[in-house]
Chains A and B, each alone.
Chain A
Amino acid sequence: MSRNLILGAGLSSLVVLAALLSFVWTPYDYAALNIPAKLQTPNAQHWFGTDHFGRDMFSMIMVGARTSIAVALLAVGIGMSLGVPLGLAAAARKGSWLDELIMRGNDLVFAFPSLVIAILITAVFGAGAVNAIIAIGIFNIPVFARITRGAALSLWEREFIMAARVAGKGAARISAEHILPNVANLLIVQGTIQFSLGILAEAGLSYVGLGAQPPTPSWGRMLADAQTMVSFAPHLALIPGFAIILTVLGLNLMGDGLRDWLDPRIRVARS
C-alpha cells in the first residue's frame, strides 16, 4: 500500500468517524445558543472556538461532516445506480441506437455547467439538502456511464466473455455476472473522486444558501456566516475551510492510492 493510500484513507476515515460519532455524541449541543460565550477563539472548553451565537464550532464541524458526507455519498449513489447500468447497456449494444442515445445524452449533460444547473434546480424546487443531492447526482450519471462503457467495451472483446456467450448467457446476464465485477475497481476509484467533488459542490451550494437549510449545520454555510466576521474572528472561516480541504485532500489521495493499488500492473511494477 502506498503512502498516499494510507494518508488518504486515514484522513477520510477521520472525517467519517467524526460524522458517525456526531449521531451519539458531540461536545456540546450543536444548535445550543450561548451568546455570552460568543466568538471565542479555540480553547480548552471549545476546541475549535465558538461562533457569533456562542455555538460550539467543534460540534458544528462534526455535524457538518454528516451533512457533507450524506449529500456527496447519495449523489455518488445516484450517479452510480443510474450511470453504471446505462454504461453497461451502451457497451452491450455497441453502435446501436441505444448506445448512440445514451452517449449523446451524456454529452448533453456534460455540456451544462454543473453549478449553473444545480442553481437552476435548487432555484426552482427550493433550496435544501435533497435538491442539492439531486443536482449533484445528475452530473455524476454521465461520468459513471462513460467510464463503465469504456471499460466494458474492451471486456466484450475478451475470450471469457465469448465463452459466456457460447454458454448461452444473454447480454444482460453477461453484463451483470462478468462485466460488472471486472469494472468494479475502476468504479470504486472514480466513486472516490466523485465523492470528493461532491463535497466541494455541496460546500459551494450551501455557501450560496442553496444547500442544507438552518439549523442543520453545513461547512459551506458556516463559511457564508463567517464572511462578514472574518476580519475579527478568522477562526470562523479557517476551521470549516480546513475541514473541507482535509476531507477533499484525503479522498483525492485515497483515490490516487486506490487506483495504483487496485491496478495489478502498477503493483507488479512496484514490487
Chain B
Amino acid sequence: MSETSPEALSQILRPVARPKEPSAFSNALVFGWRAVLKFKHVPEQLFDIVMTPIMFTLLFTFVFGGALAGSTGDYLQFFLPGILVQTVVFNAVYSGMGLSTDLSKGLFDRFRSLPIWSLAPFAGLMVGDILRHLIAGGIILAIGLILGYRPEAGIFGVVAAFALLIAIGFGMGWVFIVLGLLVRTPMTVMTFGFTFLFPLVFASNIMVDPGTMPGWLRAFVDVNPVSLMTTAMRGLMSGNSDATQIALALAAPVALTVLLAPVTLWLYRRR
C-alpha cells in the first residue's frame, strides 16, 4: 500500500456541500442502476437461473415428451408456458439471497445512514428482479422457438404473457425478500426457498395434465397458485385466455404483495 498524498488529501477535504436533494424516484433509479451493474459484473448469476429451466425443457421434451403427449412437438407446446412460470418462481429466490448477502455485509447500514427514500433499495431490488425475469424468460422462449414451439396468439399474446410473468415474479419476490430480511445467511434463504417451492412447482399442471393423479392430489393441484398461473400463461400464449383465468393467476401475487409489502417495511425499519 502506498501513501495517501497529503496535498491530494487536503485538496479533497475542502468542504463539499450537499447538492439539491434528489427525489425518491431518482434514488430508486440509482438502485436500479446498481442492479444492472450486477449483471455486468456477475454474469454467472444468469447462468445459474437459466441452466435449470433449459435442462428441464430439453429433458422433459425429448425424454418424457413423446410418452406424455404423443410427440415431442405437442409436449413442448404444452410445457413451455409452464416452464416460464417455473423459471420466474425459482428466480424470485435469488432476490432474497442477494438481499441477505447485502445485509450480512453491512452495505445496507451505509444505505440506511444516508438521507434517502427508505424504500429505494427495495425498488432497486425489484428492478433487478424484473430484468432477471425478462432475460431468463427471453432465453427460454428463444430456445423453445428454436425447438419448434409456436405461440398461437402471436407477438401480442407473448407480450401479454410476459407482463403476467413479471407480475407473478414481483408477487413471489416478496416471500423471499421477507425471508432475506429474517435469515442472515444467503444459503439458508436458498434452502428454505427451494424446500417451499419444489412441492408447489411439481404438484402443479406445469409438467403433466393432472387428470391421472389421485383425487386428493388433484384437489391440491387444482387450487395450487402455480397451476392457476400456468393455465393463464397457456391461455395467453395460445390465444384462448379469459379474464377469470388471469384474475385467478394474479390472485396469489396480489395477495402476497398486499400482505408482505407492509411486513417488509416493518422488518426493515425495525432492524
A and B form one complex? no
Using CB atoms and an 8 Å cutoff, list the residues of chain B in contact with chain A.
none
Using CB atoms and an 8 Å cutoff, list the residues of chain A in contact with chain B.
none
